[in-house]
Amino acid sequence: MEQRSIQDLFSLTGKVAVVTGATGVLGGEMAHSLARSGARVAVLGRREEKANRVAGEIEVAGGESLALPADVLDNDQLEDARDALLERWGRVDILVNAAGGNVPEATLSDDVGVFELPEKALRQVMDLNFLGTLLPCQVFGAAMVEGDEEPHGCIVNISSMAASRTLTNVVGYSAAKAAVENFTRWLAVELARSHGPGLRVNAIAPGFFIGEQNRDLLLDEDGSPSQRGQTIIEHTPAGRFGEPDELGGTLIWLCSRAAAFVNGIVVPVDGGFSAFSGV
């Protein structure tokens, strides 16, 4: 590799990125992180008003952004979003699959045990997280390889601690994120072998960050940790929940030239949670 400055190694200037689930807390912050590193960022999410707001915030901060209202489980909407992005910027370099989340009905409770979990809810959480990652990879990944003899691009999927560590109650979400991790490794091998080493696929496994979906689970009404939240903090060597912007450094690294030989891995950003036995 030719000698580059540290700034050049980690710069995303000139790159075009699309972030699914960018209307959520973590996805939105990842979109901002990419923009701050120089990428032009397409904000993809189901909530049109929120997508416009995130894109507007990026523009106000001096970046380039495009709102793409779309559902990651609707191929037609994804293809329309891809076409709009290509019409605007002509290329796709980076895909971040941040869409996902749990389905409450696919979670154990005092009234619902493992034998009573409804099939419909389990299918919903699997579709949202696994198919909601796979389908954007197909649609936007095709744009990465089209018309380029030596395609270059980077896909970053978002996993979870639930994929590799047994977390009580969240059986459907855990299985879905485990599928995302397996698919990440599989796709990394497939794209590199079929289209060359310029296409890379990795994943980030966040620890515990406060988002819209888990706020009531991890925090009490007064903002202090709930019983489950406190248990998580006690098992996190950093002794706290993560801050959304703390995912940005890992994301930028994986998308940059600095990670040109990094492929098929899952990076935990978890304050040490996955390293601690609890003893």
Active site residues: 173
Q: At what angle do helices 25-36 and 248-255 cross, to 10 degrees?
A: 50
Residue 138 burial (CB count, 10 A): 12
Those residues whose C-beta lies under 8 Å from the C-beta of residue 4, and which sit 6 or more positions away, are 257
Amino acid 67 reads: A
Q: Is the distance from CB of 199 to CB of 144 less than 8 angstroms?
A: yes
Q: Are strands 16-20 and 65-69 parallel, antiparallel or unpaired?
A: unpaired
